[in-house]
């Protein structure tokens, strides 16, 4: 009888935990779907529901499933990098979560490095940022390569080195990181300003290639479409091609960062 009761309690506990994890998955997937469309309101709502649930259920990093832990890391990366949330808004100790099994999680090394880079939730520390980003880059994390490119491009804790920045942007691009590709393209658009080779056609090739990256979010691709429009408009004086790419961005309708309406985009090509 006692054994049967124990098994019943164990089954109920397992079922409840499984239901909790499914609830977390729903919140996190909704948050990522929202960020994909740059729907900031629904991203913040779903992510905060998730954090509230963690606090309610006294969840620690060890008790999250790998799927939910990885979704959580992605939400943090895009949410903090896009200034959609701050670590101070969270009810959990974000550093404890990021440090959990960190030696096997390059994406969390990258996020921790980015927090030190931004001074978000921790004191700004370029040395620590570089340490974690280089560790992640050594494990072939594409986001880390892109952020290291920024470190050298802006001289954050290192001597400014545009050639080295381009190398990191190229590495990120080769691994399918769209943001790295955008910065790589920009380095070819404005290379002469920074002592690098300038090649507008190569920049266009990079932008178009980036549109095919499978892991890129939809709003990121819209940003590329918008940038392509600007290249054709400002660098090549090709109004027809510029309008085509602006229209592609408008047809999707979100995410390209300039907050321009479709009508305003059309006016910009006249």
> What's the distance, CA 64 to chain centroid?
21
Q: Is residue 206 part of a domain?
A: no
Q: Is residue 246 part of a domain?
A: yes
Q: Is residue 249 part of a domain?
A: yes
Q: How many domains does the chain have?
A: 1
pLDDT in tens, 225-257: 989 999 999 999 999 999 999 888 888 865 444
Averaged confidence pLDDT in the chain = 86
Q: Is residue 255 part of a domain?
A: yes
Catalogue the long-range contacts made by 171-174 (C-beta closer than 8 Å, 24 or more residues apart).
171/137, 171/142, 171/145, 172/142, 172/143, 172/145, 172/146, 173/206, 173/209, 173/210
pLDDT in tens, 72-128: 999 988 888 887 877 766 666 788 888 999 999 999 999 999 999 988 878 899 999
- 74 with 32: CB under 8 angstroms? yes
| ∠ Cα 223 225 227 (to 5°) | 70
| Residue with the two structure tokens 């054709």 | 232
This prediction's pTM: 0.85
Q: Is residue 87 part of a domain?
A: no
3-state helix, strand, coil in the chain (%, to 5): 75, 0, 25
Enclosing domain of residue 238 = 217-270
Q: Is residue 167 part of a domain?
A: no
Longest CA–CA span in the chain (Å) reads: 83
- 133 with 109: CB under 8 angstroms? yes
């Amino acid at each position: 009888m006692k054994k049967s009761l124990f098994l019943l309690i164990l089954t109920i506990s397992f079922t409840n935990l499984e239901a909790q994890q499914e609830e977390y998955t729903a919140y996190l997937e909704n948050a990522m779907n929202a960020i994909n469309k740059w729907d900031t309101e629904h991203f913040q709502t779903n992510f905060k529901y998730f954090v509230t649930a963690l606090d309610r259920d006294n969840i620690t990093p060890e008790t999250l499933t790998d799927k939910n832990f990885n979704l959580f890391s992605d939400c943090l990366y895009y949410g903090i990098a896009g200034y959609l949330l701050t670590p101070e808004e969270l009810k959990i100790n974000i550093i404890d979560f990021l440090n959990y099994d960190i030696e096997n999680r390059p994406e969390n090394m990258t996020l921790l490095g980015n927090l030190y880079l931004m001074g978000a939730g921790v004191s700004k520390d370029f040395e620590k940022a570089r340490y974690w980003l280089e560790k992640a880059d050594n494990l072939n994390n594409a986001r880390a390569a892109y952020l290291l490119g920024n470190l050298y491009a802006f001289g954050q804790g290192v001597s400014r080195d545009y050639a080295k920045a381009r190398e990191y942007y190229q590495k990120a691009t080769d691994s399918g990181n769209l943001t790295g590709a955008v910065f790589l393209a920009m380095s070819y658009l404005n290379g002469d300003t920074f002592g690098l080779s300038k090649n507008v056609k190569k920049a266009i090739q990079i932008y178009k290639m980036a549109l095919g990256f499978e892991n890129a979010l939809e709003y990121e691709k819209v940003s590329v479409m918008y940038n392509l429009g600007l290249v054709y408009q400002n660098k090549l004086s090709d109004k027809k091609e510029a309008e085509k790419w602006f229209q592609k961005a408008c047809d999707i309708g979100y995410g390209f960062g300039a907050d321009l309406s479709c009508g305003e985009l059309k006016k910009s090509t006249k």
